[in-house]
Structure 1
Amino acid sequence: MPQLGSDEPVPHDYPHDWEADVVLRDGSVAQVRPIRPDDAPAIQDFHERQSDESIYLRFFAPLKRLSEKDLHRFTHVDYDRRVALVMESRGALVGVARYDMLDDTRAECAFNVSDTFQGRGIGSVLLEHLAAIGRENGVQEFLADVLPQNRKMLSVFTDAGFEVSHHFDDGVVALSFRIEQTQQSQAVRTAREQRAEAVSVRALLAPSSVAVVGVSERPEAVGRGIFEHLVAGGFAGDLYAVNSHQHKELAEHRVYASVAELPGPVDLAVLAVPAGSVHDVVLGCADLGVKALLVVAAGFAEAGEEGARLQRELLTTVRRHGMRIVGPNSFGLINTRPEVRLNASFAPEMPRSGSLGLFSQSGALGIAVLDSAARRGLGLSDFVSAGNRVDVSGNDIMQFWIDDESTRAVGLYLESMGNPRKFSRIARRLSERKPVIVVKSAASAYGVPPGHRVRTTRVGSAAFGSMLRQAGVLRVENVHQLLDVGQLVVHQPIPRGNRVAVVGNSDALNALAADAAIGSSLEVVHGPVNLPPDVSPDGAERALEAAFADPDVDSVITGFVQTGIGQGVAIARTLSRVAAPHDKPCITTFLGIKGLSDELSGGATTDGRAKVVPSYAMPEDGVVALAAATQYGAWRATDRGELVMPDGIDAVSAEAMIGRVLNGSPGGRPLQPDEVAELLAAYGVTVWPVIPVSTEDEAVEAAQTLGYPVVVKSVSPLVRRSPITAVRADLRHESALRDAFTALDERLRPLHANRLVVQGMANPGIPCILATGEDPLFGPVVSFSLAGAPTVMGDVGYRIPPLAEGDVRDLVDSVRAAPLLHGQDGSAPIDRAALEDLIARLSVLAENLPEVASLTLDAVNVHPDGLEVLGATATVAPSALRADAGRRALGVPPACGGT
């Protein structure tokens, strides 16, 4: 049995999945884990380092030293009815939290935070983790006794988003609160996570001091190049060069032999040393108190098993010492803001300063992206290359960009996805403030670059695309489209609708633009206005003013061919001047101008943003970008409502039933029909009963039990996959039932598909299929389709819980066959409210119960008067830890030993 640093073995029931790396309020990384018996010396030391006041506030008595009995009680728990967590920062114990069950649903909790770590959010993080564990163990309510003068601990409870009740009892504040997640508690957790992770990224992107380790005398060396790029870019902070083998001055900077010799604190260390030397340099950086690391060295997980081992060791060391890291195998970091001027990258020139933030997992692609942006004249706020994304990922950078006023739009090039649930949650918050544009070709393991180990997925790219739409993210096909959209949304207003005007002096360009607009679901309501090829600036101005002034126009598409250099420049300036004061976006195809130019610049807006009309090589390119911006505008203008939370849900009963099943079948199994009905009933869903029958007489007996009219049908899996008639409906008397049973039995017996059941006859309606599944990559996924041909042809919609009211509506409308639900040829539309309520209940079940590996309502009959669930199947299995499990934690990328 492995040891944990003392003579006591690891407890056999030690819950490893409760361990987590977390980001504190100051941006540093700490570790939360269950307490262990070998923590007794650390607990005693922690206690003795506390002030007399802190000891009194925790124990209500001046305990100078904990007794051996107390130490044993504190450190020996059963991880069920008695749970304790500790937090460590840079190897030192800085916080303790625990609960002890009082009865089957209530537990008393207590917290203790190191005096030297007060104000870093430790109590809040520990409460989140303790509450999440409590929910897993069936705890419903926490109680705590707090002295009135202990205001910090009182605020930990009252500010957590729970409904806290309290009363005074013998000089003590007695608190109690239910620990179930609410919208308020989730909002508090999300906001705290965002602030902490944004602070940790700020040390990477806006450091006050940078040290480059590995600065060689050789001009072609990587470290030398990055150091010179920092110097040439005009980095505004303190800059240090480090090389153990060279001590000559470089670019008027002293070269230090090691980071230990540096004269001042360092926010960011750039490691340009061989992979085998990185670990020792990291330890030196930790001793110096470096906040963040950028590792440009290759030779890690992308290089094979030995590299993967080095990468796992690197992540462990970095996090244990409280740091964040970008890379390894990173192209670098760039921040163009005048007060920072950071070019810690392979790019020889600092990009133009602007408002588009770019994140790329690919280093090679980073070069192409920067070059393409430069050719367009498109300015950037930041550029981040994650490399192997051992730690910092696109999720972390998006957290930083949420509140960053310098970044007006975000572009992401993703080669793999490590935590889609967290991505979706963060991207939605970011999209509510600014456009997010993503290039991602697929969500499978195909094409995943070396060094990027990802979870497998069973739902494929369709679910990934749905997740992006759900979060308001614009998905494009390539980097060129990303920059096409980026230069539009950064420099022009977001469209308020899909109605466009087309104006230009080329009939061919106008026709191309109009056709492209119609093909992109834009409506041409003004024009095309075909101006003469030699139109004067005044003539162009009148036509353009008319287009912008038209109240039915939301966006203006223009195209001009230059018949002379002087005329072209004049018309370009006219176009920019006319477009500038309007709150409608404008795009152009101006032959001879591509991207952003001074001629098409109309000055600055009231918020200081440069307003430029972007020019595209062909009208189709501009229209694709405009359609994407229009899609984003429609998403942002839509009220998505609150997270769905239907009434009448008994989650405790559902969890208890699943617990009984897994206790008897630890590996999981399909549920029996009565178990499926019990599970769904706990979430307010009634399944119509079916009675299995094997003879005519049994069928008649079943019909008498259910009452006529009835249906006899096969429930064999074969009939779901094959076009076999397997149902006889509207059977109103015994003879009809006997004939139907005999016909089906004779037809299906040769196929071994004669698993027949009798069920009551539902109202005429439209059959639909609803399903949920616990995907290894995405977590819970809800799907919806119309039964029959639409499902077979792949017309299936997906959404990732938790769902807001608008997400439920969008899921129904996302399938191509949705118009059938709205009423056709005079028929009444189905009861949308009933269908959306059912989807909401299924989504909450999927979110709450990861043990439900699959659940399918394979016969949902919807009609104008409601719906009936005619059939359901489910399978339960032990749940793996979700990537975004409802408590703040940094993920462990699969390349580093995670899942």
Structure 2
Amino acid sequence: LVSSARSEGITAFTADALGENHEVLRLFADLGLRTARRFEGPQVRCTIHLDQDDAYLAAVEARGRAAGVASLLPLLRPSAVAVVGAGRTPGSVGRAVLNHLRTGGFTGRLFAVNPRVESVLGVPSHPSVAALPMTPDLVVVAVPAAGVPAVAEECGKAGVRALVVVTAGLDRMQARALLTACRTHGMRLVGPNCLGVSNTDPELNLDATFAAGHPRPGTAGIAVQSGGVGIALLDGLSRLGIGVSSFASLGDKFDVSGNDMLQWWESDGRTDLALLHLESFGNPRAFSRTARRVTRRIPVLTVDAGRTDAGRKAAASHTAAAATRTMTRQALFTQAGITATRSVGELLETAALLHSQPLPEGPRVAVVTNAGGAGVLAADACAEAGLVLPPFTPAVIDDLLAVLPDGATVGNPVDTTAVVSEEQLAECVDRLARCSGVDAVVVALVPTAVAAATGDDLVRALTTAPGRRARPVLAVRLEQDRSVELMPAADGGTIPSYAEPQAAARALAHAARRAAWLAQPAGTVPALTGVESERAREVVEEYLAFHLEGGWLDPRTCAELLACYDVPQLPWAWAECEDDAVLAADRLRGFDGRVVMKAHWPGLLHKT
């Protein structure tokens, strides 16, 4: 109502309420708008000024966030779940979901819906949703595509509040009917074409998926469009010991999106790490606004999927969504502070570091190794990832030489030699971790016969110390089988260990960029004047009318569009012949007599 009134030029509301009507008066106060009250006998006249400021925008955002999270409760914290399409055929998706719910220890009521059987896997079966003894909060739909719209309509009429549709292959009419049923009856929808959802809270134990196994309870939230990527992340996080707080396979993403899941994790009190795999963004502006807020509280990581034309075509074929273009997506991630990786493996490697170690204060890395060659590889990897290996001060060099064996070289990398003892290595790493000229320590180790003969365990030199120190400490073990592991430390924490120095360097570079982003002020949205949005819209629409597929604006149209938003531009002129060019150059030349010339021809770009 406020937005509509403001668009019509209305500047204030007046309202009369009884002085004892505290609920209504509190409603006015909570709007986030400047409100003046005047008592007139038993009544209070409230004047609500509609000027928009940061307080109002914050109140609107908070209300929207609370409503969004509340709408997900039937989906992620249901008290009763029904699976429609669970049968007796081994290998059927519906049966697999029902089995996961049963064996996962779901603490609520569980039902199957199948008119041909009385029970499935020991779970009571009923002929229809309407015939259930109670209305479930959540219904998982695993029927053929042709039957999905009817099931959705039946669920809506029965009062179901959330659907997970795992069925794939809906045509346009079926998809429209499904979405219409959900919107008409106020049901939240995950899918279609998805793996399902889970919530590992021990008070709930919800696993409504058909993944190979149950996720390990933990603190990472996962939202993916690809079920295959979801399975890989569930397995990887469980293996690392990080575990999962909640999981949503969004599939074709008709309704519930990554934006919804970010808001859920922000408020669930269990999630300290968010992992996303999104091939498209239905509302990039809303996603960016939410992500900027959430990522200041917890790390938000994503796989940058659909970077190429081939990848975008593949995304469109398997989730029916047009992947967002690479430049747009990367700008979105950068602005929102999202850590974007290029593979599932890199995502897990980075998640392991962010989960277990403090953020580095900068890009300065000290490399320690018991083998010179491993140190060279680690140094190269760090430099290629944009990290810096600073030289040590004379005081630091003397400090390290005092604890290292004879023959050790203290440059950067620090080569302790193969004869270093467990105690000497531990002291060296500890001193570097306290050094003010270093932001992180990478320890590259290789097994040697010397250590085996003396009984020294150089890995133990790291794990007997606290898992979290003042600065992050990472291990690189070239003989390690898995790309990343989390080694238990003495204080109950963990230390990330990588099989390749490149993996360690990439993860550390991501952590350094996150620290730099967090160090920037959050900023404010300024009130802009002189903006001609309508004219800008006309410029764009006129261009697109002749270029249906979009494209690069010509210089004059581009300048006109920028001028609509008062974006500063250097003085310029358009010349269509040699004489025009000479006159323009004479008028625009700098103090040194020089000008810049840019050639333009359709299809010819950036020729300056």
Fold match (TM-score > 0.5): yes
**Distance change in 2, residues 1:499/1:793 (3 Å):** farther
Q: Given the alignment of the two structures, is residue 257 of structure 1 paired with residue 124 of structure 2, yes or no? A: no
Distance 1:406 1:766 in 2: 61
1:715 corresponds to which residue? 574
- Counterpart-to-counterpart distance in 1, 2:281 and 2:105: 35
AA aligned to 1:506 is A
For the pair 1:592 / 2:480, whether they are aligned, the reply is yes
Letter in 2 for 1:531: T
Matched, 1:553 2:418: no
Aligned partner of 1:626 in structure 2 is 508
Deviation readout 1:754-782 (Å, 9 max, x if unpaired): 996996888789999xxxxxxxxxxxxxx
Distance 2:459 2:218 in 1: 22
Secondary structure at 2:130's aligned position in 1?
helix
How many angstroms apart in 1 are the aligned matches of 2:370 and 2:606?
Answer: 44
1:577 corresponds, among 464, 486, 497, to 464
Q: Find out whether 1:197 has 2:68 as its counterpart.
A: yes
Contact preservation (8 Å) 2:18, 2:43: yes
Matched, 1:563 2:433: no
CA–CA distance in 2 between the matches of 1:501 and 1:419? 42
Shift of 1:294: 0.7
Q: Does 1:310 align with 2:147?
A: no
Deviations 1:482-530 (A, max 9, x none): 1111111112112222222211222222211112212222222363122
Q: Is this contact kept in 2: 1:202–1:400, CA < 8 A?
A: no
Are 1:365 and 2:253 counterparts? no
Look up the SS of the partner of 1:187 in the other structure: helix
Alpha carbons 2:356, 2:468 under 8 Å: kept: no
Distance 1:166 1:452, change over 3 A: farther
Distance 1:154 1:629, change over 3 A: same
Aligned residues: 565
Distance, in Å, in 2 between the alignment partners of 1:766 and 1:377 is 63
Q: CA deviation at 1:569?
A: 9.2
In the alignment, the residues of structure 1 paired with residue 568 and residue 429 of structure 2 have an alpha-carbon distance, to the nearest angstrom, of 60
Residue 617 (1) aligns with residue 484 (2): no
- Mapping for residues 344-383 of structure 1, pairs under 5 Å: 344-383=208-247
Asked whether 1:469 is paired with 2:330, we answer: no
SS at match of 1:613: strand
Matching of residue 537 in structure 1 with residue 396 in structure 2: no
C-alpha displacement of 1:794? 6.7
Moved more, 223-232 or 253-262: 253-262
Do the aligned partners of 2:300 and 2:338 also contact (CA within 8 Å) in 1?
yes
Q: Does 1:517 align with 2:382?
A: yes
Letter aligned with residue 543 of structure 1: C
User: Where do 1:120-159 residues align within 5 Å?
Assistant: 130-137=1-8, 139-149=9-19, 150-159=21-30
- Structure number with greater CO (CA < 8 Å, separation at least 6) is 1
Give the one of 257, 260, 263 matched to 1:393.
257
Is the alpha carbon distance of 1:766 and 1:216 closer, same or farther for their aligned partners in structure 2, counting shifts above 3 Å?
A: farther
Conservation of the 8 A alpha-carbon contact between 1:714 and 1:755: no
**Which of 91, 109, 122 is the aligned partner of 1:220?**
91
Q: 1:202, CA displacement in angstroms?
A: 3.1
What is the SS of the residue equivalent to 1:145?
strand
Superposed displacement of residue 353, structure 1: 2.1
Q: Deviations over 1:76-115 (max 9, x none)?
A: xxxxxxxxxxxxxxxxxxxxxxxxxxxxxxxxxxxxxxxx
**C-alpha contact 1:541 1:574 (8 A) present in aligned 2:** yes
Could you tell me whether the CA contact under 8 Å between 1:360 and 1:384 is conserved in 2?
yes
Q: Does 1:643 align with 2:525?
A: yes
Q: How far off its partner does 1:481 sit?
A: 0.9
Aligned partners of 2:251, 2:167: CA distance in 1, in Å? Answer: 10
Is this contact kept in 1: 2:162–2:188, CA < 8 A? Answer: yes
**Alpha-carbon spacing, 1:144–1:132, altered in 2? closer, same or farther (3 Å):** same
Paired residues of 1:336 and 1:382 also in contact (CA < 8 A): yes
Distance in 2, matches of 1:223 and 1:415, equals: 26
Q: How does 1:106-121 map to 2 (within 5 A)?
A: none
Residues 162-311 of structure 1: pairs in structure 2 closer than 5 A: 162-168=33-39, 173-248=44-119, 250-300=120-170, 307-311=171-175
Task: Answer yes or no: is the 8 Å Cα contact 1:212–1:227 preserved in 2.
Answer: yes
Q: SS at 2:514's partner residue?
A: helix
Contact 1:506 1:561 in 2 (8 A): yes
**Aligned mates of 1:433, 1:714 — CA distance in 2:** 48
- CA 1:392 to 1:684, structure 2 compared with 1: closer, same or farther past 3 Å? closer
- Contact (CA 8 Å) 2:364, 2:388: kept in 1 or not? yes
Query: How is 1:841-852 mapped onto 2 (pairs within 5 angstroms)?
Result: none
8 Å Cα contact 1:225-1:346 kept in structure 2: yes
Correspondence for 2:549: none
Q: 1:686 to 1:284 in 2, by over 3 A?
A: closer
Per-residue CA deviations over 1:118-140 (Å, capped at 9, x if unaligned) read xxxxxxxxxxxx23233433x14
Query: Deviations for 1:662-687, whole angstroms, at most 9, x for unmatched residues?
Result: 9xx9x9999xx9xx99x969x88899
Q: Is the 8 A contact 1:378 1:596 kept in 2?
A: no
Partner of 2:268: 404
Measure, in 1, the Cα distance between the counterparts of 2:538 and 2:382: 56
TM-score, normalised by the number of residues in structure 2: 0.82
Q: Which amino acid is 1:354 matched to?
A: G
Contact kept in structure 1, 2:241 and 2:486, CA below 8 Å: no
1:436 is matched with which residue?
Answer: 300
1:830-869 aligned within 5 A: none
Greater displacement, 367-376 / 523-532: 367-376
Q: TM-score, normalised by structure 1?
A: 0.57
RMSD of aligned alpha carbons: 3.9
The separation in 2 between residues aligned to 1:516 and 1:793, in whole angstroms, is 35
Please tell me the residue identity of whatever aligns with 2:365. Answer: V
Question: Residues of 2 paired with 1:334 and 1:349: CA distance?
Answer: 12
* 1:363/1:385 contact within 8 Å kept: yes
How far apart in 2 are the matches of 1:763 and 1:172?
72
* Structure 1 pair 456–503 and aligned structure 2 pair: CA distance change class (3 A): closer
Contact map agreement 1:714 1:754 (CA 8 A) in 2: no
**Deviation readout 1:327-385 (Å, 9 max, x if unpaired):** 11111112223222222111131122222222110123323333444454442222211
Give, in whole Å, the separation in 2 of the partners of 1:168 and 1:435: 49
- Cα distance in 2 for partners of 1:550, 1:324 equals 52
2:396 alignment partner in structure 1: none
How is 1:736-775 mapped onto 2 (pairs within 5 angstroms)? 747-748=578-579
Instruction: Specify whether residues 685 and 375 from structure 1 end up closer, same or farther in structure 2 by C-alpha distance, changes over 3 A only.
Output: closer
**Distance between the aligned counterparts of 1:568 and 1:286, measured in 2?**
68
Structure 2: unaligned runs, 5 residues or longer: 393-411, 547-552
SS of 1:465's equivalent?
helix
1:448 to 282, 297, 315: 315
Determine if contact 1:487/1:595 at 8 Å carries over to the other structure: no
3-state SS in 1 of match to 2:288:
helix
Distance in 1, Cα, partners of 2:338 & 2:241: 24
Which residue matches 1:319? 183
How far 1:197 moved relative to its partner? 1.2
Deviation at 1:410, TM superposition (A): 1.1
How far the C-alpha of 1:468 sits from its partner, in A, is 1.1
Mark the runs of 5 or more structure 1 residues left unpaired by the alignment: 1-129, 301-306, 605-610, 691-712, 719-744, 769-785, 796-857, 859-899
Q: Percent identity?
A: 33
Separation in 2 of the partners of 1:660 and 1:435? 36
Tell me if structure 2 keeps the 8 A contact 1:209–1:237.
yes
Give, in whole Å, the separation in 1 of the partners of 2:195 and 2:593. 58
Report how far residue 660 of structure 1 moved.
14
